[in-house]
Amino acid sequence: MKKISIILIALAAVLTVSCKDFLTETDPNKITSGNYYQNEDDLTNVLNQAYNSLKGNYYFVNSYHFTDIHSNLTICNDSGARGGAYYQWYAFTLTEQNEFLLSRYQRIYASIGYADKLISHLDDITWADPNTRKSYEAQARFIRALGFYTLVTEWGPVPVFDGALTSMSEIQAANHRAPKADVYAQIYKDLDKVVGTDADPSPLRDRDSAADCGRVSKAAGYALYGKALLQQATDEDFASQKAELLTKAINMLNKAWALRGWATDNLPVAFADIWDISKQKGCLENIFQINFIQKNANLGSDFAYVYGPAAETGITSMHACNGSSQTNQAFYDKYAAGDARKAFLRKTVYAGSEYYHSMKYVDKACGADGYGGNNWIVLRYADVALMLAEAYYWSNDATNARAWLNKVRTRAGVATATSETGNALRDAIYEERFKEFIHEGHSWHDYLRGYSKAELKAHFQPLQANFTDKDYLFPIPYSERVLNPEGLYQNPGYLN
């Protein structure tokens, strides 16, 4: 049997319903009972697969290693676990053979593959309501855009495609790294279908609801659109387009803000309510979240015991906790005495040392197996507010930058910014992001937006001497690269 890259597998998902043998290439144009659809229920199942892929994929499995641990905001306590594979993210000794690197890369493309599958088969059937077809396409395009956003931010140039592949030769031809500009262009093309236009309005509801928790909304589309534009605008490779991209980012983020579910121009949702699982699914703060079901072995989450205190039971979960991502005293001390977020870090002792574990993910009704009801929040309105603060700062509008920063500070109950400008204002905005979103998987992307490559090196080298120019991007996984060494060339610094 032939080996094929996981990218080929993901791309082949646009042509087949399932791959029983991932190592066997088949004729993708051959019509069988397994690769065409007969009714709306068939495509509803594919859409549900696309959503479910987010649960078992990069928003669920060891995601903290790629974000807070990689940013050194939290700590990897065991340098020898899994042959040191965990510790590589913390110590900047990441190699192209890292098993979790490969898992993340493959799982993102698998998620994109499910979205592609749906998009490519939308016209296999006759729809009772054309708006249902448009809604399914918009939701799938959001999932695909989210995947490509993560890939281009963490790996740079990556294979990109639009689901229009009709043969194995086309699939193989697409398995090469495309310029970052092409990846961003595809993200925006997808998100245009999510947010709609005056001539072609989006069929999606304005924002999430408790009844439809976990489904894509227009607010989610605008928020992700703004985030991708902001990430591109602050990339040094796009310096000549920075002003234009920032203007577009501000526009999209303001549209996301306009769809909030409250009238006042602030953040009225109490910080504690975001993490209360009895309120979380209908919480107005949350724009897009991945939905989990308590006490369900297949659909429950493990965040309560993964982020809980190491080797303890009954604090965040009735399952023995892992303590997989904890922070230290120095980070805890950054919070002012009256900061509402400070209570969501709790001191614990592990192997004789003191750490602070997260209290954002608490579910003591989950049972001894730990199948929790905690959702993973991908986008929320504090993120929109702070991204607007970033975008205005980078646009040299300190007044508006402070105003958006202060929405988050006011909700937290801490002193507002009054006169900060320049680097002091920039540092205040990103420091606020780190404090607001600790244990939520934002920090590495935030560092990449907030600071130049030279500044990142100056910051991280005193913390971890292994940090070099290679560490701005992740390496292409070895088992992917060797299948197409020229097209899937390695990022600088990772080849010995």
The answer to whether 316 touches 307, Cβ cutoff 8 Å, is yes
Residues of the chain with pLDDT > 70: what percent? 90
Assign domain 1-179+471-496 to its CATH architecture: Alpha Horseshoe (1.25)
CA 233 to chain centre: 18
What pLDDT, on the 0 to 100 scale, is given for residue 168? 75
Mean pLDDT, residues 460-465 taken together: 96
Of 4, 44, 7, 45, nearest to 26 by C-alpha is: 4
Q: Is the pLDDT of residue 8 over 60?
A: no
Note the pLDDT tens digit of each residue in 24-76: 233 333 334 455 789 999 999 999 999 999 986 566 657 888 999 999 999 88
Q: How sure is the predictor about 82, in pLDDT bands with cuts at 50, 70 and 90?
A: low
- 377 sits in which H/E element: strand 376-380
Q: How sure is the predictor about 18, in pLDDT bands with cuts at 50, 70 and 90?
A: very low
* Residues contacting 232, CB < 8 A, separation 6+: 180, 184, 238, 241, 245
Mean pLDDT, residues 470-494 taken together: 95
Q: Is the pLDDT of residue 2 over 60?
A: no
The full DSSP string for 97-136 is: T-HHHHHHHHHHHHHHHHHHHHHHTGGGS--SSHHHHHHH
Q: Is the pLDDT of residue 6 over 90?
A: no
Q: Is the pLDDT of residue 121 over 60?
A: yes
Angle ∠(344,345,350) on CA atoms, nearest 5: 145
CA-CA distance, 317 to 434, in Å (whole number)? Answer: 25
Domain ranges of the chain: 1-179+471-496
CA-CA distance, 427 to 451, in Å (whole number)? Answer: 9
CA-CA distance, 189 to 183, in Å (whole number)? Answer: 10
CA-CA distance, 103 to 105, in Å (whole number)? Answer: 6
Of 260, 259, 286, nearest to 275 by C-alpha is: 286
Note the pLDDT tens digit of each residue in 130-168: 999 999 999 999 999 999 999 999 999 999 998 755 677
Name 377's bridge partners: 289
CA-CA distance, 475 to 495, in Å (whole number)? Answer: 9
User: Helix H segments across 336-470?
Assistant: 381-394, 398-412, 422-436, 443-450, 453-460
CA-CA distance, 163 to 171, in Å (whole number)? Answer: 10
The answer to whether 302 touches 288, Cβ cutoff 8 Å, is no
Q: How sure is the predictor about 370, in pLDDT bands with cuts at 50, 70 and 90?
A: very high
The answer to whether 40 touches 128, Cβ cutoff 8 Å, is yes
Q: How sure is the predictor about 84, in pLDDT bands with cuts at 50, 70 and 90?
A: confident
Q: Would residue 184 be called left, alpha or beta, if left means φ above 0 and alpha means ψ between -120 and 50 degrees?
A: alpha
Residues of the chain with pLDDT > 90: what percent? 80
The answer to whether 155 touches 96, Cβ cutoff 8 Å, is no
The answer to whether 361 touches 345, Cβ cutoff 8 Å, is no
Note the pLDDT tens digit of each residue in 330-362: 999 999 999 999 999 999 998 889 999 999 999
Token pair belonging to 165 = 């592949």
Q: What's the whole-number average pLDDT of the chain?
A: 90
Q: Is the pLDDT of residue 457 over 90?
A: yes
What pLDDT, on the 0 to 100 scale, is given for residue 83? 61
Token pair belonging to 248 = 């577009």
Token pair belonging to 422 = 């320049």
Q: How many residues does the chain have?
A: 496
What pLDDT, on the 0 to 100 scale, is given for residue 3? 44
